[in-house]
Structure 1
Amino acid sequence: MSSKSDFNCSVLIPDGEHALLFQVVSCLSACKNVSIHVLSNKKNVPISYSRHLKSFNIIKTTSPKEWLHEIDNYVLQNQIDIILPIQEKSIEKLIKHRTQLKASHTLVPFPSLENYKTAIDKANLATHLTKFSINCPKTIVVVPGDNYPEINQLGYPIIAKPSRSIDGYGIKVLSNKDDTHRFLKSFSSTYVLQEFIEGYDIDCSVLCKDGVVLLHIIQKGILFENRKFAPAIGLQFLQEEKLLEIVRALMTSLKWTGVAHIDLRYDKKTKVFKVIEVNGRFWGSMEGALAAGYNFPYLYCLLAKNIPFKVSTYKKIKHYNIKGLVKLINQKPSILFNWSFLRKHTTLCYIFKDPLPTIARFIKRTRVILRRR
């Protein structure tokens, strides 16, 4: 990857309470010409201790109007070049209310509000995928109070997912009719019920403009937590042209602009990749993508300023987050002495460069555990 290295900019992240902030900061701080500012509605955010931040400020708002006003004031006072939100709620809010933001010209580009809502809602996405004949699992959308005789068409087991959720939370496996009956009597929000696909998960992260995929990276999980449906803690980056064809068709159909992370599953029976869901935000493996050669947050900023960049092929490396590293050490303690591996294939180098946020996060987590006990 190559771009104009003399591009100096100040970036404001207006939703600094999000857990992905550390990775976004790690990526942006890899470019010395970027100054990073953060606004947050929470006080005790570990990233506030980062040496990479030029400023970190707390804002207390009760409405979108007040939030936008705080952003406008901060942009004006600190000569901000780019506003870069990182979580879906904030992105949706900024798309919806951007005409009320005086500094809207500094926002990174987004898709339309309609297409954004379609992508990030599993129920809406299922309808969209069917409409555009894009590979996806058999899906039924269920709403509390209705009858669903067609559920039997899915077979068992059935995967039940909240229409809006992250990191696998709220997902249930319905193994038989009794499970399904109990679920339909107890659920309280919109869910999607999907056929279980025998195969494996595989993901694709993209940066797009007007439906065209400018940049992509494909990854497959190779190490996992004990919790079902949790994100992988170890990844293998790879190439898969047939998967990319499906992702391109999806992004074109959504006329997507900006970043997205698409979850897919390979169906061993039909031998095709199927779209499971779309995350319309940054994702949890950005540091891995950076190690493989792609700095998605920085390139998103270049796109916002219409600065061209060239893309080279990314490295097909393995990469492990901190949970993955701990699991590897438990399996093979000698890895601790392999600095070359730790530097190239784990998040440890990013922690060493900016240790205080991780220390603060550990202390905060320890306090929570002690209180529970």
Structure 2
Amino acid sequence: MKAPALVTDALLRKSLAAVRSLGAKGIPVYAAESTRLTPAGFSKYCAGRLLSPHPVEQPADYAAWLLETAAKMPGLVLLPMDEASVGVTIAHRERLAVSASFLQPEAEPFRRAADKYETVLAARSLGMETPLTWLPGGEEELAAIASSEAFPLVIKPRHSSGSRGIRFVHNATELGTAYREAAAGGLPPMIQQYIPPGERLDAAMLLDAEGRVVASFVQREVRHYPADIGPSTVQESIAMPELAEQAAALLAKLGWRGVAEAEWMRDPRDGRLKLMEINPRYWNSLHLAIQSGVDFPYLHYRLALGERVTPITSYAIGQVTRNLLPGDLLRAISTGAWRGLDPPLFGKGGRPVEDDILSRRDPLAAAGFGLACARYALDARMWRKLFKR
């Protein structure tokens, strides 16, 4: 009997990808979420749906639930999929390790990787290019930034996903007002010079318990929703080993273990790639890596059990996945761009395209997604989760 696996955050399409990956290999995999209506929970590869507290709104209850669940399921392998569930697992790692197996970084590497400003500092120490970035220590430093010629600027939360909490400012007056509002009552945000939208590339990595790279994968983001700054809705696998090498160096600098994704944007003003952030968790377009031959969830599962695995750094190039529901469809509605798309919005066009949710082999996952949308149509919190990067 293979060890059971628990995949968290079952609303997200990356969790569906993990459930399909593990379940297809005969692993009893359970999908957990604060609702039973999820794509992953309705997948034919899911052995059972588990109802959990919300990891963001109820972290203490979520931790207690994880500990109780692990105690009830001997040999359980934990695969936390999103930042909050990863954070809870790390915070309670010693107690969880009594009953469950998992592979996650220590608390300090996780804190640094989750902090966008700390990520910039680490990248710069390795000679990597980043946008001009500031963390003003007071009004005097804020005034110095306001007097610079770096506008437009972006005020960013140091902990966020996708485009949430981002504010664009075009002059000194806007900067002062927006920064003080963003800094009120919380962790002071950072300020970055705005980079016009350009090519966006991601390097996904898996490091074992000794910090060795076990898997690497690079993708190009083709379309997004919202169109300029949102998460990707279509992705393509590409060969760019130098980007994977940079991601490996950055994660080694942080002392990373487990899964993470690093994101770059090509600055159209000078054509150079600039590191934007690290996602210290699984990324929502995970299905593309699995389709291309890098099965991160299964490799992660095996490493969590202490197995040795052969590193995977080569994969099929030119594979394409999309998230039609709701991402790519909403992009078409918001931009009015329905025709002339590559790949097309509907149909396969000249090359094979797989959807993150829609599948003839696993049709009930789409039903789970539809039920979740109907049930939570007016719940802004649930919709925000669906659009996490």
Same fold flag (TM > 0.5)? yes
Q: CA deviation at 1:202?
A: 1.4
Aligned to 1:177: 172
CA 1:369–1:173: 2 relative to 1, 3 Å: same
Q: CA deviation at 1:14?
A: 4.5
Aligned to 2:84: 89
Q: CA deviation at 1:68?
A: 4.3
Residue 204 of structure 2 is aligned to residue 205 of structure 1: yes
Q: Give SS of 2:297's match.
A: helix
Indicate conservation of the 8 Å contact 2:323/2:357, yes or no: no
What are the within-5 Å matches in structure 2 for residues 31-42 of structure 1? 31-42=24-35
State how far apart, in whole Å, the 2-side matches of 1:64 and 1:100 are: 15
What are the within-5 Å matches in structure 2 for residues 241-256 of structure 1? 241-256=241-256
State how far apart, in whole Å, the 2-side matches of 1:325 and 1:165 are: 22
State how far apart, in whole Å, the 2-side matches of 1:48 and 1:300 are: 20
State how far apart, in whole Å, the 1-side matches of 2:108 and 2:378 are: 44
Q: CA deviation at 1:76?
A: 4.1
Aligned to 2:385: none
TM-score, normalised by the number of residues in structure 1: 0.83
Cα deviation digits, residues 280-331 of structure 1 (max 9, x gap): 1111111111121111111111222223235262111142323376559942
Indicate conservation of the 8 Å contact 1:84/1:107, yes or no: no
State how far apart, in whole Å, the 1-side matches of 2:82 and 2:22 are: 16
Q: How well do the aligned residues superpose, as a CA RMSD in angstroms?
A: 3.3
Cα deviation digits, residues 63-113 of structure 1 (max 9, x gap): 766544543443343334411111111211221221222535x33212221
Q: CA deviation at 1:49?
A: 2.4
What are the within-5 Å matches in structure 2 for residues 1-373 of structure 1? 8-16=2-10, 18=12, 20-29=14-23, 31-60=24-53, 67-101=62-96, 103=98, 106-142=100-136, 148-151=142-145, 152-153=147-148, 155-187=150-182, 188=184, 189=186, 190-197=188-195, 199-209=198-208, 210-268=210-268, 272-305=272-305, 306-311=307-312, 313-323=314-324, 326=329, 327=332, 330-331=338-339, 338=348, 341=351, 344-347=352-355, 351-366=359-374, 368-369=376-377
Aligned to 1:3: none
- Give unpaired runs (5+ residues) of structure 2: 381-389
Q: Give SS of 1:163's match.
A: coil
Indicate conservation of the 8 Å contact 2:77/2:304, yes or no: yes
TM-score, normalised by the number of residues in structure 2: 0.80
Equivalent pairs counted in the alignment come to: 362
Cα deviation digits, residues 248-278 of structure 1 (max 9, x gap): 2201101211110111122455554322111
Aligned partner letter, 1:315: A
Indicate conservation of the 8 Å contact 2:358/2:365, yes or no: no
Q: Give SS of 2:4's match.
A: strand
- Give unpaired runs (5+ residues) of structure 1: 1-6
CA 1:22–1:146: 2 relative to 1, 3 Å: farther
State how far apart, in whole Å, the 2-side matches of 1:350 and 1:54 are: 19
Indicate conservation of the 8 Å contact 2:234/2:323, yes or no: no
Percent of paired sites with the same residue? 20
Q: Give SS of 1:135's match.
A: coil
